[in-house]
């Protein structure tokens, strides 16, 4: 049986761009869970793989892992999301989160119904149905589970990520049922004629044509992973997604246990490191770093 989803190529820039626009950023904590440290920072030796799976590791040593999404307020395009986090049903039935395999790796999932993105938007006086654009860093379940909350939005996805995800399995981090909807999926092509560069990132796309939201290609964690650079009022912010799990990944070059392509992951990591060197006041937000998350402001 074929998929219900029929994505189409994106036509960039999207409407709503404004010259010199800056955006407001709201980090959203959707859930928290615990995972084995060696999954995020791999260990060498024969036991490294076992420890990454949580075997032979005490539960007390597990890392506190945030599941996150972001609300971006654009002056012309309106509210934009980066990722969706978990669907609200996960608060009632955690087994909906990441499938059986993910459930073996991650423990003690904590989420209340009010933590899903739609209630968090309403708490900020943003109607969920007013979200016109959602940028997906990738389609792993902890980032894409909540897609069905937003049937009226346009989803921006890297074409390479879509091709990987539609054939992927839960052992690769994908649950097809979470995004197999007849929604408005638009695919961007970082190898296309509209691709330019941005700062230290070799391949970038200007989402609204005004420089406020730059999509940058950061493959490696998945084949089609992307990150997002935002122009805030006082600085830039890099929403790294899982191109860096933690700041330790970036600062110490400590790679995670599993990557779709280690060579491309390392290259993306180098581009992010150079970006921080050249833009030292930039806010860099990794994908799953609770200590870094706790330092964030409520809004930028």
Convert the pLDDT of each residue in 244-286 to its tens digit.
999 999 999 999 999 999 999 999 999 999 999 999 999 999 9
Ranges of H-type helices in 124-176: 141-144, 159-166
Tokens of 107: 């423990």
Sign, CA torsion 180/185/191/196: negative
Tokens of 130: 């007013």
- Spell out the residues 6+ positions from residue 77 whose beta carbon is closer than 8 angstroms to its own: 14, 15, 16, 17, 132, 133, 208
In the predicted model, is pLDDT for residue 31 greater than 80? Answer: yes
Tokens of 95: 């087994």
Tens digit of each residue's pLDDT (9 = 90 or more) over 93-125: 887 776 655 555 567 899 999 999 999 999 999
Tokens of 186: 């638009």
The one-character DSSP state at 258 is -
First to last CA, the chain: 45
Note the CATH number of domain 8-294.
Answer: 3.60.15.10
d(CA 187, CA 175): 19
| DSSP per-residue letters across 208-237 | SSSSSEEEEE--SSSTT-EEEEEE-SSSEE
CA 246 from chain centre, in angstroms, equals: 13
Sorted by where each begins, the domain ranges of the chain are: 8-294
Burial of 50: CB neighbours in 10 Å, binned 0-12, 13-18, 19+: middle
User: What is the β-pairing status of strands 184-188 and 154-158?
Assistant: parallel
Q: How confident is the model at residue 1 (pLDDT cuts 50, 70, 90)?
A: very low
Tens digit of each residue's pLDDT (9 = 90 or more) over 133-156: 999 999 999 999 999 999 999 999
- Give me the residue label for tokens 């799990």: 245
- Give me the residue label for tokens 């970038």: 204
Sign, CA torsion 34/39/41/45: positive
Q: For the chain, what percent of residues have pLDDT higher than 90?
A: 89
d(CA 247, CA 70): 18
């Amino acid at each position: 049986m074929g998929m219900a989803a029929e994505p189409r190529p994106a036509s960039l820039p999207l409407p709503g761009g404004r010259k010199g626009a800056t955006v407001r950023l709201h980090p959203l904590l959707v859930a928290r869970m615990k995972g084995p440290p060696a999954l995020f920072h791999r260990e060498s030796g024969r036991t490294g793989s076992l420890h990454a799976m949580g075997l032979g590791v005490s539960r007390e040593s597990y890392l506190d892992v945030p599941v996150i999404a972001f609300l971006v307020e654009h002056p012309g395009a309106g509210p934009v999301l980066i990722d969706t986090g978990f669907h609200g049903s996960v608060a009632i039935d955690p087994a909906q989160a990441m499938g059986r395999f993910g459930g073996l790796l991650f423990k003690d999932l904590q989420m209340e119904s009010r933590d899903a993105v739609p209630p968090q938007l309403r708490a900020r006086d943003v109607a969920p149905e007013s979200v016109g654009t959602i940028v997906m860093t990738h389609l792993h379940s902890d980032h894409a589970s909540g897609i069905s909350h937003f049937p009226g939005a346009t989803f921006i996805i890297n074409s390479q990520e879509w091709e990987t995800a539609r054939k992927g399995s839960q052992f690769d981090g994908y649950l097809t049922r979470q995004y197999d909807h007849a929604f408005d999926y638009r695919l961007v092509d970082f190898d296309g004629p509209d691709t330019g560069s941005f700062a230290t990132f070799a391949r970038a796309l200007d989402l609204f044509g005004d420089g406020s939201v730059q999509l940058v290609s950061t493959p490696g964690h998945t084949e089609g992973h992307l990150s997002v650079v935002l122009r805030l009022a006082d600085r830039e912010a890099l929403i790294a997604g899982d191109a860096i799990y933690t700041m330790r990944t970036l600062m110490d070059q400590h790679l995670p246990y599993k990557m779709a392509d280690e060579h491309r992951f390392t290259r993306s990591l180098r581009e992010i490191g150079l970006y921080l060197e050249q833009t030292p006041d930039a806010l860099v937000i990794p994908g799953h770093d609770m200590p870094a998350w706790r330092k964030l402001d409520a809004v930028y």
